[in-house]
Structure 1
Amino acid sequence: MSSNITELETRLQHIAGSIPPFDQEAARRAELHSDQLTKPPGSLGKLEAIAAQLAGATGELWPDLSKRAVIVMAADHGVCEEGISAFPQAVTPQMVHNFLNGGAAVNVLARQARAEVVCVDIGVAAELEHENLVSRKVVWGTRNMAKEAAMTRLEAVEAIMTGIAVVEAEVAKGARLFATGEMGIGNTTASAAITSVLADLSPELTVGRGTGINDGVLAHKVEVVKRAIGLNQPDSGDPLDVLAKVGGAEIAGLVGVIIGASAHRCPVVIDGYISTTAALVASKLAPASVPYMLASHLSHELGHSRLMEAVGLSPLIHLEMRLGEGTGAVLAFHLLDASLLLMKEMATFDSAGISKS
């Protein structure tokens, strides 16, 4: 097994090291063009910054991002045994079927944004079959991190590599823009544990209400996270160790999505708390991936703002959402579209015959 771990980690390190540097020259060209448009400089705010970031990420002034996919990673969590969620674990496979049948919120928003929903079973603790399901099960749910490590190191790396492989398959079909999504009852608990360790924050600052738990369950959830960290002693200097001991398969899969997208110069829009946790891990494993990330929204989940600060991201919207699934990320696709359309279709001062002074 150790040889398998070494081989997979070497492959992961190679892919992380192959991420092209952000094209500062292309970003600067986008900024210069924006300043020539018929508006006061900087008056479109983050829309101008988005255009520059997309140019720098892709190396193209106005990239064609019309082919886009939201990757929804689904997995279960053994820590649900501790009673930390308002919903039972059985909801995970039920919601996966909802995604596959097109009835979830992310499906509705993806249709509006002309995006494909790619649902991946990376660790659901149930047998799932559907013609639209990407079946890449690494674990049958994680183990209870309050009693033992959630995953082995090998399982965590395999899940990351699975995320990379899913992205590569979509890139081969023409996708150039990605969003992160997830489903897994109990995954805010795993996210809070990872964030506490990697961002050096107390569980009181990272544990939120998730599916809508009451004060008593919230206090219990904080104690469960503390117990899991104390028991497993994850090494904050080793993000793979943290991910394996107190993480989840879908979080690891999203780490792979982010790294894989970045390696192909594809911008990746980060969803809420769980997805940003994956972004934090990705930023530790592959720092060059950060310029390829765009934070979609500020989640209503406690700790999300501090988590984004740890990654170096700033949200585009704040709608007090905390659903997950990729819903916030897909909504942000519209802002990316608006940014590129403004840059391509607005007149310049010269073309419109308007004086700048």
Structure 2
Amino acid sequence: MSSDLPFDAFNILIKQMPGPSARAVAAVRARDAQLTKPPGALGRLEEIVEWLAAWQEKERPTIERPTVVVFAGNHGVTAQGVSPFPASVTEQMLKNFSAGGAAVNQICATWGAGLKVFELALQIPTKDFCEAPAMDARECAATVAFGMEAIAGGADLLVLGEMGIGNTTSAAAIYHALYGGAASDWVGRGTGLDDAGLKRKVSAVERAVALHKPDLTDPWEVLRRLGGREIAAMAGAILAARQERIPVLLDGYVVCSAAAILHAIDPSSLDHCLAGHLSPEGAHAEILKRFGKKPLLDLGMRLGEGSGAALAIGLVKAAVACHRDMATFASAGVDNKA
């Protein structure tokens, strides 16, 4: 683990993470056995309720304040021609979020979810990690801490999202550093790169990981050298959610790069998380396999901004409603199995 003081507090929190509530899970299973259905008939919906109960530490889990939190940052690596869109699009999209015009706005409105958007120094992009570490240690640690604080407000289900031109390049570099293989194994087309742009992106990831390789044995160093501010903030939010016993739905390729940092430190650090959906971007399916997580949805979505996982809020709410409001055999006057 890192001996750099800015990250020591996070390492301590990871070692002290609360675990699931066996008592709450037992209570859910006892009620489920009395509901008017055959055992297991609701499939993963039953698993979702158990997961919620375990991490909310509630015998009757609730979804009353689902919240989507989107972090936005800009990346110096865009200087390498890794995106067909300019960095100015990040700020323009934030205005679109504020005006209610993005996809995630519509999805949140559909499920009654709150939406918070945080701008992370967009006028000061991270450094081009092909030439230098993206962030210094204290900047990175401060951003992780900001992400921890940003989830305050009483959410009972957290969905994480991101916005940042160039951030799929950063995510690919993180995966390449953590998991090895060829850079091309992890790189996707992002916001629609042509073949020439894809080659530039692969080259940027290769050069960045080669440049920083001596320091990439520590996951925090992987984050600060190859990550972005939004990725650091999301890592902090996932960690804080665990401390606050808030279940988390992970979005796609970029969000999972933040999760991958914590997973590399301690695989159990993602036990309070479910994969909201499967993205076709890059090697997201391989990443979820490494996490041991099966996505709730597979709709070919690769928009980011938390949209895929936000859509899965509806499944979670339906699971809770079935468990809470279905009649029992006794109350409905239906014969149970002999």
TM-score with structure 2 setting the length = 0.94
Q: Which residue of 2 aligns with 1:135?
A: none
Counterpart contact for 1:197–1:234, Cα < 8 Å: no
Q: Which residue of 1 aligns with 2:253?
A: 273
Q: Which residue of 2 aligns with 1:27?
A: 25
For 1:309, which of 281, 289, 293 is the aligned residue? 289
| Distance in 2 between residues matched to 1:332 and 1:36, nearest whole Å | 26
Counterpart contact for 2:247–2:272, Cα < 8 Å: yes
Three-state SS of the structure 2 residue aligned to 1:317 is: coil
Counterpart contact for 1:349–1:356, Cα < 8 Å: no
Amino acid at match of 1:193: A
| Distance in 1 between residues matched to 2:218 and 2:20, nearest whole Å | 25
For 1:165, which of 149, 170, 181 is the aligned residue? 149
Give CA-to-partner distance per residue, 1:194-248, whole Å, 9 cap, x none: 0112133422221001101112211221111011101111644311000111111
Counterpart contact for 1:199–1:310, Cα < 8 Å: no
Residue 52 of structure 2 corresponds to residue 54 of structure 1: yes
TM-aligned CA distance change 1:234 to 1:31, over 3 Å: farther
Three-state SS of the structure 1 residue aligned to 2:91 is: helix
Q: Which moved more, 1:212-221 or 1:320-329?
A: 212-221
Residue 331 of structure 2 corresponds to residue 355 of structure 1: no
* Aligned-pair identity (%): 39
Residue 169 of structure 2 corresponds to residue 208 of structure 1: no
Amino acid at match of 1:256: G
Three-state SS of the structure 2 residue aligned to 1:356 is: coil
Counterpart contact for 2:140–2:229, Cα < 8 Å: yes
Three-state SS of the structure 2 residue aligned to 1:233 is: helix
For 1:144, which of 125, 128, 132 is the aligned residue? 128
* Structure 2 unaligned blocks of 5 or more: none
Amino acid at match of 2:19: P
| Distance in 1 between residues matched to 2:293 and 2:259, nearest whole Å | 10
Counterpart contact for 2:56–2:245, Cα < 8 Å: yes
For 1:328, which of 282, 300, 308 is the aligned residue? 308
For 2:319, which of 324, 339, 347 is the aligned residue? 339
TM-aligned CA distance change 1:234 to 1:296, over 3 Å: farther
| Distance in 2 between residues matched to 1:15 and 1:215, nearest whole Å | 43
Amino acid at match of 1:149: P
Q: Which residue of 1 aligns with 2:103?
A: 105
Q: Which residue of 1 aligns with 2:226?
A: 246
- How far the C-alpha of 1:29 sits from its partner, in A, is 2.8
Three-state SS of the structure 2 residue aligned to 1:298 is: coil
Three-state SS of the structure 2 residue aligned to 1:69 is: strand
Three-state SS of the structure 1 residue aligned to 2:312 is: helix
- How far the C-alpha of 1:99 sits from its partner, in A, is 1.2
- How far the C-alpha of 1:311 sits from its partner, in A, is 2.0
TM-aligned CA distance change 1:63 to 1:33, over 3 Å: same
Counterpart contact for 1:19–1:288, Cα < 8 Å: no
Counterpart contact for 1:123–1:142, Cα < 8 Å: no
Counterpart contact for 1:195–1:201, Cα < 8 Å: no
| Distance in 2 between residues matched to 1:34 and 1:196, nearest whole Å | 43
